[in-house]
Amino acid sequence: MKVILKEWNAVATWHWDMPEDEVCGICRVQFDGTCPTCKFPGDDCALRELHTVNLLIGKCGHSFHMHCLMTWIQQETSKGLCPMCRQKFEWVQDEK
Amino acid sequence: MINSNPLNVGRRRVFGSVFSPAPFEARSSGRGVDHGNTQAASPFHPDASFSTIRTGSFNSPQPGKSFSSTLDRETWNQAWCLASDFLSLPHEGFAEVYNARGRVESKGKASRWHRPPSQEVAEALSYLACSESSETSSELNGLHELLLWYGGEIRRHFLANMRQGLHELFRREDHEELIRSIVECLQLARRMYLTPVANHVLEFAEAEYREKLMAQLQRVFHTVVSYSLPWSKISPLISVVLAKEALIILGIDTLLKEGDMDANDRDDDAMEVDRRYSVFYDHWRNESPEGRERMMIEGEDNHVTTARERLLMFLQGLQQVGLGGDKTQKVFASVMNIMMTEFIRAAYTGKREAPSLVPQHLRHWVEDVFARLVVQVLAIIHHPRMVDQSTNILNVSFSDVEKWQEMGIARLGTLRTSELFDVIVEWPASTGAIEDLRHFTTYPAARSYLTQNFITVLNQRLLHPGASTLEILQLYIAIIRAFNLMDPKGVILDRIARPIRRYLRDRDDTIKVIVSGLLAEPTSIPNRGALPSTHDTLAELSTELSKAHQLSIENNTSELDWDDMNWMPDPVDAAPDFSKSKGTDVIDSVVSLFDSKETFVKELQTMLSDRLLQNRDNYDQEISVLELLKIRFGESTLQACEVMLRDISDSRRVDASIRRDQGLVKLPTRPRPKRSAHASFPDLHAKILSRFFWPTIPEQEFKIPDEIAALQQRYAAGFEALKASRKLTWLNGLGQVLVELKLADREFSDHVTTWQATVIHAFQSDSSSSSSSSSSSASEETNSTTERSISSLAEQLSMTPSLVRSACLFWVGKRILAESSSSSDTYHVLESLPTEEEEHSSTTHHAGQQAGQSAGTNTSTGPPDNTTLTTSAADAAAAAEAAAAAAAKESADAAAMEKMNLYWQFIMGMLTNQGAMPLQRIVMMLKIVVPGGFPFSNEELREFLAGMVAKGKVEIVSGGNYKLIH
């Protein structure tokens, strides 16, 4: 008998390339979910801006939803500090 | 005025009966005393004449002379004797009357009784007639006196001769004829009594008194008749006759007969006889408005006319012999009461077309047929006193007719209420009946009657375990629609829906049916009127959903619309917590069955995920349903569903671009990548899901075929390249595979699940090239096929044994695999199908051979055609079903065991901390402790614990307590 698999319709789930079950430090929602202002996960509610290489993982090692962090950074009071550790928040430059 | 005082009249009669026929000589002595009391009361009172007798002169026979000094007593006595002798009744018995009854005119008898008066008698009568020299006002004379006596004579004779015979009749005859013969006898007797008076005596009386005297005698007769015939016996007889005739006259008999006939016969009848008179609703309906007016008035059928005549004759007889009057009216009324119900039942049961003209038809019938009969009958059986008044007042006023019509409408409502369940079942073909009910439900009493009645019927016929949830929901939808039409306020619906809703909430699969109905393809839209949802889905709901949306756009009013000039308060029978938003429709009612939207949305998600993961070209239906539901529930509630849909559409795009980038597309122009050296490598498509937005999908981990795994790796790499810093996790348990199997004598190609494909792939012999040669015969095949046991497969694929078994059974069902005869749980490939002889099937021989041949030669694509494998196909189908069921059960069992293991932890903890426990207590504790409730029954837990006992983890100690073994 010869078995030919002509077509394989698989199902997969995606997840951010991050430690499992990590939550955003601001909104406490898992990264694979959406931040409170977004409706759709993934492209719309990204951890990085599309076509840029900036991951929203600070050099301090804390990561956030991009929308959450942008809201924070734009506030005067934030003074550009990481909300978790109060260091200067700098974006990790993606090597790729 | 005094004249009509019945008390005095009655008393006078009593006295008359006692004294009139008494020996004559006693009169003068007793009279004065006895009649003193009633003297002034009656103008007929004989007292006046007595006074003349006592004081007047017997010698002066001339009338007009007032008060002669003496009266010739002798002459008077003589005249009296002659006259009374003439009138005295022969002592003939009842038997003669009864026998004479049959004759057309029993003249002979009558003449024997009523010989014409001789000269002497005539003289005596005329003497008596003017015997009293009355004063100007006195009306009594000897003749009156004589007739009074005669009344007594009638009474005596009747009681002596007739009464006994009549009573015997009751014993002898059957009911049908009895009353008729009684009436005939009485009529004869009446004639016997009254004819001589009417013919010979009255001529001597003054003209103005004749009628009065006659009526007086008549009354005497009536009294004695009603005295001797007990009414309780007579009235049922009368009502039987009345009912029989009324059935014909009112047309009910034809209706009932028609009901028995076939529909065909009826059509023929209607064609042949162009009947102008008919009480049929259908006939009436089909008439033009002018024709309807006339239909029940003109052109009566012959048998109706004769029945009417017969009835009127009969009543005439009753009235004559004194059995008419009030009492008969009462009987008649009760009969007509029954007739109306009967007519409505016979005429309108099952007539439910819209628009309903039943109320109009009923009104017509009441007016033209019913009231007509009543008028005719009441004209005959009137109250006896009305004779005197001789006025021709119509006994039936128009308001009476109206009252009857209202009554009829109410009865119609009762009928409709009793058949309401069937009406609902037939909805929407039965709109007419609902229209009828709308008239009926304007009264609060009627509404509560309807509610009570319908709820009882519902409980009996619908809300029981025998009815499927689908049926109940379908009916509920019909009920909602019907009652919205009947009572736009929705109060009745609110009351009736409560028990249904309560019941539906208790059913587990309600939500499933609803959601699958919502998602179902509204394929049956074109012929919606006929059968909205035929089989197992409630496709009606999805139709309703799209329809309701349009409606809700049109009328967007709410309870809080203060400018609504048509606002009406809720009816009085509304429940305290009743509130109806005007937009309430079927969907709302169905969806609001559940307290929270969450339950609904969760089920919707599950259902949606099932449907979305199927391999289909488009998901337009899902998208449109979701859009419509979003309008109802709001965007945020259905957020997850929206993400799901978006995932699917996104993955299609992503899939295309990844496949392009990774060179997975088989384009002839495109140079093939090196790695895909195979002549054909599988097309790998993927659906990429956002994991938090999909319902948890049971995962089954196993090793997929290597080539697929390799492809998946490339695919994942492609994805990572496309979407930076994102990764894929493959869910191998989901998805579909198009497999093509090349066997020695046939090919097979179908969509199967991934695990089924994996298992069959494992059966592929390592040296697959050898077996692909089509020349391999049945003997070779056994050598070349590989046998695999379930356990080895499970190990090889790291799949659960139950899943492997279920896959194997699936392929057995498809007749690709067969269980080895040597050992169970081992399967081998059925390289070529066994011929019919080998299989112990009982099909016809040559057909089987043919099948074998054609199967051998037919190596073209596709599965073997149907004719070759009729029997085996049936077997296979049955086997596949069984396999699927077995697999489902096994996987369910496995899942249950999985859960049970979790609970085992709880149980262990419990038994450790608290010592030995009985089963009951364990269950109770689990119910309290386990989050989300303990889903298993006592029996299931007992089984599980028995397993644990077998494993030596627990033991049963005294009193059925379970104790942990350390």
How far is the alpha carbon of A79 from chain B, nearest alpha carbon, in Å?
Answer: 28
Query: pLDDT-based confidence at A56, cuts 50/70/90?
Result: low
Residue of B nearest to A41 (CA): B690
Q: Would an 8 Å CB–CB cutoff place A83 in contact with chain B?
A: no
Q: Which residue of B has its CA nearest to A33?
A: B692
d(CA B627, CA B613): 19
The torsion defined by the Cα of B604, B605, B606 and B610, in degrees rounded to 10, comes to 100
pLDDT tens profile B137-152: 445 566 777 777 888 8
Tokens of residue A48, six digits: 């990085």
Q: Give the per-residue pLDDT at B560.
A: 55
Q: Which pLDDT band, with edges at 50, 70 and 90, does B105 fall under?
A: very low
Residue range B3-37, pLDDT digits in tens: 444 555 444 455 445 444 434 433 333 333 333 33
Q: Report chain A residues whose CB lies below 8 A from the CB of B729.
A: 12-15
- Name A83's Cβ contacts closer than 8 Å, sequence gap at least 6: A25, A26, A62, A64, A69, A72
Q: Do B685 and A94 touch (CB under 8 A)?
A: no
- Mark B266-280 as b/e (b = at least 16 C-beta within 10 Å): eeeeeeeeeebbbbb
Give one word for B799, left, alpha or beta, with left for phi > 0 and alpha for psi -120 to 50: beta
Pairing of strands A91-93, B747-753: unpaired
pLDDT in tens, B733-790: 788 888 888 877 778 888 888 888 888 888 775 544 433 333 334 334 444 456 778 8
Q: How far is CA B451 from CA B455, B458, B462, in A?
A: 6, 10, 15
Q: Do B730 and A11 touch (CB under 8 A)?
A: yes
Nearest to A16 among B725, B734, B749 (CB): B725
Compare CB distances from A13 to B689, B705, B739 and report the shortest one's residue.
B689
Q: How far apart are CA B217 and CA B154, in angstroms?
A: 9
- Contact call for A8 and B682, based on CB within 8 A: yes
Banded model confidence at residue B195, pLDDT cuts 50, 70, 90: confident
Is A33 near chain B, with CB under 8 Å? yes
**Is residue B79 over pLDDT 70?**
yes
Find the CB nearest A7 among B682, B741, B744.
B682
Dist. CA B572–CA B555, nearest whole Å? 26
Q: Is B47 helix (H, G, I), strand (E, B) or coil?
A: helix
Find the helix or strand (DSSP H, E) in which B211 lies.
helix B207-228
How many CB pairs lie under 8 A apart between chains A and B? 162
Report the half-sphere exposure of B321 (CA within 13 A, side-chain side).
Answer: 27
Q: Give B248's pLDDT tier (boundaries 50, 70, 90).
A: confident
User: Min CA distance, B661 vs chain A (Å)?
Assistant: 18
A39 in reach of chain B (CB within 8 A): yes
Once rounded to an integer, what is the mean pLDDT over residues B622-638?
A: 80
Which residue does chain B place closest to A51, by CA atoms? B724
Which residues between 41 and 80 in chain A have a beta carbon less than 8 angstroms from any beta carbon of chain B? 41-43, 47-48, 53, 55
d(CA B125, CA B905): 125
Locate B128 and state its tokens.
């008596």
Is the Cβ pair B731, A13 closer than 8 Å?
yes
Chain B residues within an 8 Å CB radius of A4: 680, 739-742
CA distance A88 to chain B (A): 24
Cis preceding-peptide flag for B230 (omega within 30 of 0): no
| Alpha-carbon distances, residue B874 vs B483, B869, B881, B942 (angstroms) | 47, 8, 11, 40
Interhelix angle for B790-797 vs B754-763, to 10°? 110
Please indicate whether, in this complex, the C-beta atoms of A32 and B692 are within 8 angstroms of each other: yes
A10 with B687: Cβ contact below 8 A:
yes
Q: Which of B686, B692, B711 minimises the CB distance to A33?
A: B692
Tokens of B39: 């003297």
How many angstroms away from the CA of A66 is the closest CA of chain B? 14
Per-residue pLDDT at B537 = 64
Q: How far is A41 from chain B (nearest CA, A)?
A: 7
d(CA B700, CA B897): 15
Q: Which of A12-16, B88-92, B918-922, B932-936 has the lowest mean pLDDT?
A: B88-92
Q: B712 vs A96: CB contact, 8 Å cut-off?
A: no
Tally the residues of chain A: 96
CB contact under 8 A, B686 and A11: yes
Q: Which residues in chain B have Cβ-Cβ distances shorter than 8 Å to A94?
A: 724-725
Contact (CB<8Å) A15/B727: yes
What is the pLDDT confidence band of residue A26, given thresholds at 50, 70 and 90? Answer: confident
Say which of A2, A12, A33 has its CB closest to residue B688. A12
Is A6 close to B765, i.e. CB distance below 8 A? no
CB contact under 8 A, B731 and A10: yes
Q: Which tokens belong to B423? A: 């009406």
The ipTM of this complex is 0.83
List the single range of B420-424, B441-445, B550-554, B627-631 with lowest mean pLDDT. B550-554
Q: Over 70: is that where the pLDDT of A51 sits?
A: no
At B513, the amino acid letter reads: V
Minimal CA separation from B678 to chain A, in Å:
11
- CB < 8 Å to A15, chain B: 691, 726-727, 729
Which residue from B708, B726, B732 is facing A14, i.e. has the nearest CB? B726
Helix axes B870-914, B919-929, angle to 10 degrees: 90
Mean pLDDT of B873-889: 62
Task: For residues B833 and B826, give the distance between their C-alpha atoms in angstroms, rounded to a whole number.
Answer: 18
Extract the tokens encoding B45: 């009172």
Looking at residue B776, its pLDDT comes to 37
Q: How far is CA B562 from CA B553, B565, B576, B718, in A?
A: 20, 8, 22, 62
Of the candidates B412, B392, B405, B271, which has an alpha carbon nearest to the alpha carbon of residue B351? B412
In angstroms, rounded to a whole number, what is the distance separating the alpha carbons of residues B25 and B83? 16
| Residue-level pLDDT at B552 | 54
pLDDT tens digits for range B293-337? 666 666 666 777 888 888 888 888 887 777 777 778 888 888 888
Is residue B817 helix, strand or coil?
A: strand
Cβ separation of B689 and A15 shorter than 8 Å?
no
The amino acid that residue B948 corresponds to is M
CA distances from B912 to B134, B907, B963, B964 (A): 128, 8, 9, 7
What average pLDDT does the segment B781-802 reach? 72
Distance, in Å, from the CA atom of B387 to the CA atom of B215, rounded to the nearest integer, reads: 9
Q: How far is B686 from chain A (nearest CA, A)?
A: 5
CB contact under 8 A, A12 and B728: yes
pTM of the predicted protein model: 0.64
Instruction: Compute the distance between CA of residue B499 and CA of residue B765 in angstroms, rounded to an integer.
Output: 62
